[in-house]
């Protein structure tokens, strides 16, 4: 899916977690391919591949604190996986983010530090998230 230095992020620039994840990717010196999935949603096939790659269920990748989730009553177990995928494709805001793809795997990066498990290069500098939480120290090592 990617070459040795290619990283793809399904990104929402209005999301702090997504911005922090993007910054952690860039802190390795990699400039990822950024897909603003609200404007350029994945195809059904791509979405199925992404979700399968995360190892999560479709329900686990559904974003629950958004209007379409509540309006469509998507927490009702009557919804099949195919129907949930249809809803996600019709309302991309229902796709939880950020999803990152690298040669080492696919992850839903919530919290943003999850991305560290699949980045092909080490962190170059200290990193502090937007909320002030220190994630990477001056030596480029994970704090927690």
Residues acting as catalytic residues: 15
Residue 96: how many other CB atoms lie within 10 Å: 24
For strands 8-11 and 99-102, give the pairing. antiparallel
Whole-number Å distance between alpha carbons of 113 and 90? 29
The tokens of 99 are what? 């999803």
Residue 16: how many other CB atoms lie within 10 Å: 12
């Amino acid at each position: 899916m990617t070459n040795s230095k290619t990283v793809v992020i399904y990104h929402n620039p209005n999301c702090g977690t997504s911005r922090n994840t993007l910054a952690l990717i860039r802190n390795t010196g990699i400039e990822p391919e950024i897909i603003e999935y609200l404007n350029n949603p994945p195809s059904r096939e791509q979405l199925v591949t992404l979700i399968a790659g995360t190892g999560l269920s479709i329900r686990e990748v559904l974003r629950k604190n958004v209007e379409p989730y509540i309006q469509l009553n998507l927490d009702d177990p009557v919804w099949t996986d195919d129907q949930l995928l249809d809803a996600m494709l019709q309302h991309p805001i229902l796709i939880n983010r950020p999803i990152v793809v690298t040669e080492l795997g696919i992850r839903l990066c919530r919290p943003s530090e999850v991305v560290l498990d699949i980045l092909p290069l080490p962190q170059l500098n200290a990193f502090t998230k937007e909320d002030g939480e220190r994630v990477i120290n001056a030596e480029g090592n994970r704090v927690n």
